[in-house]
Amino acid sequence: MSSVTSNSSMRSVYRASIGLRRGFKSFRYTSKPTVVPVNPFDPREDAAVLRKAMKGFGTDEKAIIQVLTRRSNEQRLRIAFEFKTLYGKDLISDLKSETSGKFEDLIVALMTPLPQFYAKELHDATAGIGTDEDVLIEVMCTMSNHEIIVIKQAYTAIYGTLLEDDLRGDTSGNFKRLMTSLSMGNRSEDFHVDQGRAREDARSLLQAGELRLGTDESVFNAVLCSRSFPQLAAIFQEYQFLTGHDIDDAIKSEFSGDLEKALRAIVKVVRNKPLFFAERLHKSMKGLGTNDRQLIRIMVTRCEVDLGDIADMFQSKYGESLQSWIEGDCSGHYKKCLLGLLGLY
């Protein structure tokens, strides 16, 4: 990703990054971030610490980890700006030359403005042969309107195409329609719950699914992509009252494949977003091998939002701490940097 080279572009990146972070908190009044902006903050001093850590023979990885995991995304971008001002060098390039492997991937992710980071994840999920629908679901089904709009702007600025067009070109059928609807960033964000309307929508979902031969996917698409999260919670409750079973069970029996996964993801996010991400983290580390890209993406994007809640849900669901899983699954400076994002290094 190209470094920011001018005051005006740097300011626009700040605004997008701050805006995205604010957008993250729009549906959750109290959340537990594990990384918060340091105060007082001296970006020139941090730039000097990083310069010293990389100058001469050897690299002081501990100093790099402690600076970068204890600063917000916006603060890291300011440090990079000061670094270039003081030393005439690009901080990301220097960090890349001093690190390698998964540790390098994690450091570069931490140094990337959040909108650009998400744009790259979505682009890479659709570029080349095959599509990583899991990434599309994780990002598109969890974002607020504001987040989606900011990511779309970053996507077009980097790749010169519209996110919506690339999603449509790389998906098909009803899953394509769902991704297109979500990419509009036009979900209601009214916190008022209309119980009567929730009952009507629950009936519509029942009539579009379990009460007919075949499924009318368009009704599920319209309701799950346009209603506010609090309204959806009320609709799911009404559905339970009407049928005696959970909406998740209905989706499992009526849908399959990526569309089923995406609709169930929306249900999970409405009910308990930290649990959704805890399950994603568990999945990234269980079994043979680690899905490092997924692990990095969640740790980097949620640390300023609700990673504390996610860690609590991980412990509650799996009976083991997120810290212990990272320690058992990762190694070296990569492991230490991940633990730093949990506030544990």
SS3 of the chain: the string is CCCCCCHHHHHHHHHHHHHHHHHHCCCCCCCCCCCCCCCCCCHHHHHHHHHHHHCCCCCCHHHHHHHHCCCCHHHHHHHHHHHHHHHCCCHHHHHHHHCCHHHHHHHHHHCCCHHHHHHHHHHHHHCCCCCCHHHHHHHHCCCCHHHHHHHHHHHHHHHCCCHHHHHHHHCCHHHHHHHHHHHCCCCCCCCCCCHHHHHHHHHHHHHHCCCCCCCCHHHHHHHHHHCCHHHHHHHHHHHHHHHCCCHHHHHHHHCCHHHHHHHHHHHHHHHHHHHHHHHHHHHHHCCCCCCHHHHHHHHHHHCCCCHHHHHHHHHHHHCCCHHHHHHHHCCHHHHHHHHHHCCCC
pLDDT of residue 128: 79
Q: Is the pLDDT of residue 130 over 90?
A: no
**Percentage of the chain modeled with pLDDT above 90:** 87
- pTM metric for this prediction: 0.91
Selected residue with higher pLDDT from 324 and 14: 324
> 């919506």: which residue's tokens?
164
Q: What is the pLDDT of residues 156-177, one digit of tens each?
A: 999 999 999 999 999 999 999 9
Q: Is the pLDDT of residue 93 over 80?
A: yes
Band (283; pLDDT cuts 50, 70, 90): very high
Mean pLDDT of 143-163: 98
**Percentage of the chain modeled with pLDDT above 70:** 92
Band (14; pLDDT cuts 50, 70, 90): low
pLDDT of residue 291: 97
